[in-house]
Structure 1
Amino acid sequence: MDDQADLLDLDCFLPYRLAVIAARVSKAMSVLYAEKFGISIAEWRVIAHLAGSGRVSIRDIHARVNLDKVKVSRAVSRLEEAGLVLKASNAADNRLLDITLSDEGWSVYRQIVPLASGFEADLLSALDDTERAALERVFEKLHARLDENVEAARSLYPKV
C-alpha cells in the first residue's frame, strides 16, 4: 500500500488507546492481589462483582465484567476450588447455578478493597481535580454514545 493516508495510526486510534490503558491498569493492579492471594484478573473481577451483586449466575457475571463466558466459568471454578465462592442451584431455573462469595471470599475481598482503592487514588493523583472531573464526564459521554449507537452500529457494520 503506497498511500500512507489509508493507514490507521494505532497510537492515535481511540479504541486501541482505551484497550491498552485498560489492560495496563488491570495488569498493574493485579500485582496487588495476584501474589498475596493467588487470584487472576478474571477471578478478581468475579469476586468484585459478587461483592456488589450477591447471588448471581455465570451469565450475569459474564454480562457485567467484560469477560467471555469461558473465562468467567473457569474463574468461578478456580474460586470454588479455592473456597472463595459457593455454587447452588437456581430455584427459578435448574439450568443455572447461583454463585455467591463464601466467608473466605468476603475476607479476601475486604483485604483487596483498600489496596485497590489506594491504587486508584495513586493513579488518579496524576490528574488535578478539574482533569478528574473532565475524565468522569468523558467516560459518561462515551458510555452514553455507545448505548445510543449499539443498534445503529449493528446496521451500519453488519457481520461480514
Structure 2
Amino acid sequence: MASGAPIEPLANFLPYQLSVASNAVSARIAEQYRKRFAIKTTEWRIMAVLGDSGALTQRELARATLMDKVPVNRACSALEARGLIARAPNERDGRSHLLALTDAGRAVHARIMPLAMKIEEELFSVLSAQERETMRELLARVRANAGELDAESLADH
C-alpha cells in the first residue's frame, strides 16, 4: 500500500461537484423548456447565443457553447426545420453559412428569456446577491483557466 495523502472521496472532488450541479440545473431548466416550448437544452443554447450575438456560423456556435459540432448540427437542423433559425450565405467565407433567429425564433426567444430569468432566480435564491456575483466571477476564472490548460501542460504536473 502506498503512503502519502489520503484519497479524497469523489463527492469532495470539485470537478465532480461542478458537473453534478450543472446537470441538476440543466435538467431543471430543460424540463421547463420542453414542457412549454418543445425545445431541447442544446436548441435553447443555440437560440440564446444567436439572440445575444446575432448571426453566427455553426463553427462559431460550437465554440461559443463549448458543444461538439454534432449536437450543434442536430440542434441547428431541428431549429431550422421549425422555422426558428434561418441559414444565409456567409459573405466572409463562401464555404459556410450564417445562422440567425427568424422572426418566429426571436418571438420564442423573447418568451423564453423571462422564464429563464425566473428559473435562475428560483435556483439561486439560496445565495445572496453578493454570493451570486462571487460565483459568476469564480466560474469565469475557472472557465478561463480550463481553456488555457492543454494535455501537454497537464502532463507536466
| In 2, Cα distance between equivalents of 1:24 and 1:12 | 17
Tell me the CA shift for residue 129 of structure 1: 3.2
Residue in structure 2 matched with residue 20 of structure 1 by the alignment:
20
1:66-113: CA deviations, max 9, x gaps? Answer: 211000000000000000000011112121110000000001100000
Partner amino acid for 1:56? L
Query: Superposed, which structure 2 residues align to 1:44-123 within 5 Å?
Result: 44-123=44-123
Residue in structure 2 matched with residue 157 of structure 1 by the alignment:
154
RMSD: 2.2
| In 1, Cα distance between equivalents of 2:74 and 2:8 | 35
Query: Superposed, which structure 2 residues align to 1:26-45 within 5 Å?
Result: 26-45=26-45
| In 2, Cα distance between equivalents of 1:118 and 1:20 | 21
1:19-42: CA deviations, max 9, x gaps? Answer: 111111111011221122111000
Tell me the CA shift for residue 155 of structure 1: 1.9
Tell me the CA shift for residue 154 of structure 1: 2.9
TM-score by length of 2: 0.88
| In 1, Cα distance between equivalents of 2:127 and 2:116 | 18
| In 2, Cα distance between equivalents of 1:57 and 1:18 | 29
Q: Secondary structure at the match of 1:100?
A: strand
Q: 5+ unaligned residues in a row in structure 2: which ranges?
A: none
Structure 1, 65-74 or 120-129: larger mean CA deviation: 120-129
Q: Secondary structure at the match of 1:125?
A: coil
Identity %, equivalent residues: 34
Shift in alpha-carbon separation, 1:62–1:140, aligned structure 2, 3 A: closer
| In 2, Cα distance between equivalents of 1:141 and 1:76 | 30
Shift in alpha-carbon separation, 1:90–1:24, aligned structure 2, 3 A: same
Q: 5+ unaligned residues in a row in structure 1: which ranges?
A: none
Partner amino acid for 1:53? S
TM-score by length of 1: 0.86
